[in-house]
Structure 1
Amino acid sequence: MNHRYVLPLLLLSAAACNRKPFFQPDARLAYTTPLPPDADSALVTAGRHYQRGPLGRFVLGPHYRRAWAEPVMLPVLRPAQLAPGGLTFVKMGGGFQTTSLTMADSAGRSYAVRTIDKNPEKTLPKVLRATFVYGAVRDATSAAMPYGAFVVPPLAQAAGVPHTSPHPYYVRPDETGLGPGSERFQGRVVLVERKYEGKANIDGPVAGATDLDETEDVLPARYHNQRDQLDGAAFVRARLLDLWLGDWDRHEGQWSWAGYAQPSRQRLWKPVPQDRDQVFFRFDDGWASWVISKLVGKFRTFGPRYESIEGYTRNARFIDSRALPAVPRATYLATAHELQQRLTDAVIEQAVRQGLPPAVYAYEGPRMAAALKARRARLPAVANAFYRLQAEEVTVAGTDEKERFVVERRNDTATVVSVYSLEKIPAGQAQGRLLYRRRFNPRETKTVRLHGLEGKDEFLVSGRVRRSPFIDIYGGPHEDLVRDSSRVAGLRKRTRFFDTARNNELYGGPETKNKTAHNVLSHAFDRDGSGR
């Protein structure tokens, strides 16, 4: 970006956000008049404070301001009547922007209560919270469709993706049934939905599962033993649905996982998407917001055409790399074609009409439905682009148990990576159960990273070819064996071994580059997204 544009951008943004930051005092329009105790509904706005004059709309963009300020009739939240036995407070939650809490019914089933509006104060350094920067960041909430999450359930159902079923409510200004943090929700519009986390919540879309956990618990189990595996094909389906909806905020914390028992005492974890706050995002329709969208790649706008696939998937890089390493291109494309058949015009039109309040549907519904239909037509091309993005660098990780990684450089278009268990090998067999296999084409894949993790692992590399991906071997903290007899034409060595300099058996060849060192940095592997 040319620096001569920076000062005018800052000045215009300051002018557009020159009002003191505030939130509507109460979602109800007639909030100065007491709400009758027996009121079942109320006329409210999700966020009329996002209204802007001509300059604000020009600089920051119209976004979904009209939908935020549109008066809609919503039911009044009554925690004591929302489920059998009522709902009782469990704990406060929420990230940096959303205010949320967990409640439970008499059967122990969990429910999330989240404010639809957000407060970005905690995302900024304290020195900026009293400046126009806070106002500008807060204003960006209007780029989200406030009722978008309510459109998703019928679409996810048709797509074959597990889903929650959120509902909007208005919280009375005198409501105290939400626990010690009730005042943080009073007078606000909230979303209430079942939470699919923990065994007590195994029913509905996850019926038949034996376990139900969050990513931070599932991934460590996956890397600890060979029993737990992630369902990559199901994850591709869920991620293509994300892309179709323009949902760019799909980091590892946005997923639960349902575990299903498999033969031979295995457990397959299927993804359960959560939190649809950013579907149908509309951001680049103002001068300043357009510039910001070019600088911040993840802020992708929903419309008839797809913007940057890399941008849509930036927040999900970690979980994508952990869940998709075994999935071939054919699965991406077959899933895209199947979704095209499932997501019919009738499904789209019904979902949009029943998800949006009537007053909002009148001007947003036809536009949203038309965009979904146009994006549906491009799903195979999007699936191919998503596959190519994931195929550039692939991480193949073992477990803390013993494995054998077999790399066969078969020809110039096929390098096959297989992983076998070395635990309890049946009599008469050289190696145990096949855990992983995928064929890599060097035109698509630059690097395959093999992580042995703990346990005494073996890495066997063979084949003579002209082209092949780099094979980076990370043995892990225990003694490992590497045997490389391969040969790839060219001067650059295509097998690289990263480990400590001692306590390993390395039988290299002309293709092997020894990258061992006198430290344990090569043993680092982020198992759950925490960076550790």
Structure 2
Amino acid sequence: MARAVHALRWRLGLLGLLATGGCVRPHYFQADAHLPVRAAEASEQAARYTAGRQYARHGGLYEVFFGQHHRRTWAAAVAAPVFDLATAAPGGALRPGKLGGGFNSTSLGLKAADDRPYVLRTVDKDPRRSVPHWLRNTVFANYLRDNVSATHPYAALAVPPLARAVGVPHTHPRLYYVRPEDPALAGDSLAKLRGQLVWLEEKFSGDARPADAVPGATALLSSPAFYKHLLADPHHRPDPAALLRARLLDAWLGDWDRHAGQWTWAQVPAPGAAPGRFRYQPVPKDRDMVFYRAADGVVPWLLTRRFAERKWNTFRPAFHDPLGLLQQGHYLDEHGLVGLTAGQFRAAAAAMQRQLTDAVIDSALHLLPPAAYALEGPGLAAALRQRRAALPGVAAALYRKLSRRPTVGGTAGAERFVVRRYADSTTVAVYAGALGADSLLLARTFFKRETKVITLEGLEGADVFEVIAGGPRAARGPRLAIYGNPGARPPAPGPGVTYATAPRRSAHAYSRPAEE
């Protein structure tokens, strides 16, 4: 009898959830982050704010179906200074600029008196803007809005010391409260900022001071600008070691939203090279998905399976799908990490394990607001320690993924691709004559046990492709798929080698623009 009553209660609860979520709620968000203080407490208690107390208004049954997420942290009372354009930035009074933001957040560009650019972003999001118009007034929009509670509202505060420990560039986000009546932010266009908790952080874009992001940097580029340089000129190369550190940090933090639009690239003169050659270090932006927790309810668990939104990877003590977690940054990995060996992947993971000490983890998490730390700090620390132990396995999985079907690309200039094939391996070396004596762009050995197909893309220029067989069984190694332009010199025909002059049209074409 008790079991039947329990089952009936679940069915009625689910029907109630669906019935009440049939259309989008017009007043979904909290009107003001400020929590009123009773007059008797006014002299004893500082102002308190919540990032989004609307996420904690549901009962236990709702959380069974849609997840507990970080709801209690969103509703926890925290302290924050009031935002003031005159004093918020160390470089002098801020001047409001252009209103922006992606599909989720609202942001305002700012510039300090010393011309350093900043951005003011809301902590809370509204993903309703990212869905088609015909879905915006449906239960689906309600779900997407509610799913913002899967993000941790204050995780960005813990990232800087963790990134600094492993040598990854970072911003310095600071939490503020914007007064509803702030005269400096008046006007209908800024309504979504007023009365909200916001982040103020440096805007690492083309008009920023490059050295503020990376010491020694001479310029900052967006991803489209960087990849344009990368495909056009061999003098511009990624820094693979720096990119690998950044990507392993992404995985460790559970930050799955690392598409090309989430990065700026710092141009640094290549050490020991002739003037005019540059390496580009990645500068991560927008750490909104750190500690993301989605798959703790029936509906989000189903939505985050491999056949659905695999990228919505839940942060937990054990990595359950590291390749799904990293898939948003596959374009970066394919272009920037192809030259690294398995040993270099292992060494990078081992170095991070040494650098991310218990003391570093604990001090970083204590930067969370006290109420947020009390709710989740010890659990997050334990999870980060367990994930730290698993970093070599994550590095190995990423290496295997990138080594299975690698693409080695050239530039718009003339390159020489030299391939030496052996029974158990294939070595690829790429030389760019435009660089002079030190013309080697990339050299890597791919092993038969790891690699099925090696794709070479010469892009433009009078490229030369040489394929050299190192013995009678050389064709048993990885197959070669070579793409050259009509003006290139093709390789001699041979078994296991295909050559085409038509450019690749697939999603993994080396020259395909990065998606932001």
Distance 1:274-1:293 versus aligned 2 partners, 3 A rule: same
Structure 2: which amino acid aligns with 1:365?
G
* Residue deviations 1:249-297 (CA, integer Å, cap 9, x gap): 1001111111111221311111111110001011111111111111321
SS of the residue corresponding to residue 191 of structure 2 reads: helix
Secondary structure of residue in 1 paired with 2:459:
coil
Residue by residue over 1:455-475, the C-alpha shift from the partner in whole angstroms, topping out at 9 and shown as x without a partner, is: 111111121425222211111
Aligned to 1:114: 121
- Indicate which of 67, 71, 82 corresponds to 2:73: 67
Identity within the alignment, %: 41
1:462 and 1:30 mapped to 2: Cα distance? 76
Contact 1:396 1:451 in 2 (8 A): yes
1:379-420: CA deviations, max 9, x gaps?
1111111111121121211111100111110x2222001111
Deviates further, 184-193 or 22-31: 22-31
1:475 partnered with 2:497: no
Write out aligned runs for 1:150-299 (5 A): 150-178=157-185, 181-198=189-206, 200-262=208-270, 263-265=273-275, 266-294=277-305, 295-299=308-312
Paired letter, 1:390: L
Contact 1:144 1:279 in 2 (8 A): yes
2:30 partner SS: coil
Map 1:320-335; keep pairs closer than 5 Å: 320-335=333-348
Q: Deviations over 1:29-76 (max 9, x none)?
A: 22999xx9xxx9731110011121122111101100000111111111
Residues 178, 405 of structure 1: alpha-carbon distance in 2 compared, 3 angstrom cutoff? farther
- Separation of aligned partners in 1, 2:179 and 2:287: 24
What is the rounded CA distance, in whole Å, between the counterparts of 1:420 and 1:412 in structure 2?
Answer: 24
Deviation larger for 109-118 or 9-18: 9-18
Q: Give unmatched runs, 5+ long, in structure 1.
A: 1-6, 427-431, 488-493, 501-518
> Does the Cα contact within 8 Å between 1:248 and 1:300 map onto a contact in 2?
yes
Q: Is the Cα–Cα contact under 8 Å of residues 231 and 511 in structure 2 kept in the other structure? A: no
1:416 matched to 2:418? The reply is no
Whether 1:402 and 2:411 are equivalent positions in the alignment is no
Q: Match of 1:268, SS? A: strand
When residues 216 and 11 of structure 1 are mapped into structure 2, their CA distance, relative to the original with a 3 A threshold, is farther
Query: Offset of 1:177 from its aligned partner?
Result: 2.5
Of 398, 402, 421 in structure 2, the residue corresponding to residue 390 of structure 1 is: 402
Matching of residues 142-157 of structure 1 within 5 Å: 142-157=149-164
What's the secondary structure of 1:191's corresponding residue? strand
> Relative to 1, partners in 2 of residues 1:226 and 1:320: Cα closer, same or farther, differing over 3 Å?
same
The CA distance in 1 between the partners of 2:327 and 2:170, in whole Å, is 22
Secondary structure at 1:454 match in 2: coil
When structure 1 is superposed on structure 2, of 301-310 and 462-471 the one drifting more is 462-471
CA distance in 1, matches of 2:279, 2:100: 29
What SS does the aligned partner of 2:145 have? Answer: helix
- Residue matched to 1:495: 497
Q: Which amino acid aligns with 1:456?
A: A
State the alpha-carbon separation in 1 of the partners of residues 345 and 504 from structure 2: 37
Structure 1 residues 407 and 20 mapped into 2: Cα distance closer, same or farther (>3 Å)? same
Provide, for residues 469-494 of structure 1, a one-character-per-residue CA deviation record: whole Å limited to 9, x for no partner: 22111113x5111123554xxxxxx2
- In angstroms, what is the RMSD of aligned CA positions? 2.5
Aligned to 1:77: 83
Q: What is the Cα deviation at residue 8 of structure 1?
A: 11
Give the Cα separation in 2 of the matches to 1:56 and 1:97: 24
Letter in 2 for 1:474: Y
Are the counterparts in 1 of residues 104 and 125 from structure 2 also a CA contact under 8 Å? yes
Pick aligned residue for 1:44 from 49, 64, 80: 49
SS in 1 for 2:320: coil
- Letter of the aligned partner of 1:332 in structure 2? F
Give distance in 2, aligned partners of 1:179 and 1:325.
Answer: 50
**Higher RCO by CA contacts (8 Å cutoff, separation 6 or greater):** 2
Q: Is the 8 A contact 1:416 1:437 kept in 2?
A: yes
> SS of 2:34's equivalent?
coil
8 Å contact kept, 1:13–1:136:
no
In structure 1, what is the Cα distance between the partners aligned to 2:70 and 2:31? 20
Q: Structure 1 189/329 Cα, relative in aligned 2: closer, same or farther at 3 Å?
A: same
Is 2:37–2:47's contact at 8 Å kept on the other side of the alignment?
no
- TM-score, length-normalised on structure 2? 0.89
| 1-structure distance, mates of 2:74, 2:246 | 28
SS in 2 for 1:260: strand
Does residue 57 (structure 1) correspond to residue 63 (structure 2)? The answer is: yes
Q: Say whether the 8 Å CA contact 2:234–2:435 is kept in structure 1.
A: no
8 Å Cα contact 1:88-1:178 kept in structure 2:
no
- CA-to-partner distance for each residue in 1:321-379, whole Å, 9 max, x for gaps? 1111111111111011011111000000010012x110111120000000000111111
Task: Tell me by how many angstroms 1:422 deviates.
Answer: 3.1
- TM-score, normalized by length of structure 1? 0.87
Q: How far, CA to CA, are the matches of 1:413 and 1:67 in structure 2? A: 54
Return 5+ residue gaps in structure 2 as ranges. Answer: 1-10
Out of 124, 134, 155, the residue aligned to residue 127 of structure 1 is: 134
| Mapped partners of 1:137, 1:12: distance in 2 | 18
8 Å CA contact retained: 1:415, 1:439: yes
Partner of 1:118, secondary structure, is coil
| 2:179–2:194 CA contact under 8 A, matched in 1 | yes
Q: Residues 149 and 277 of structure 1 are in contact (CA less than 8 Å); yes or no, is this contact kept in structure 2?
A: yes
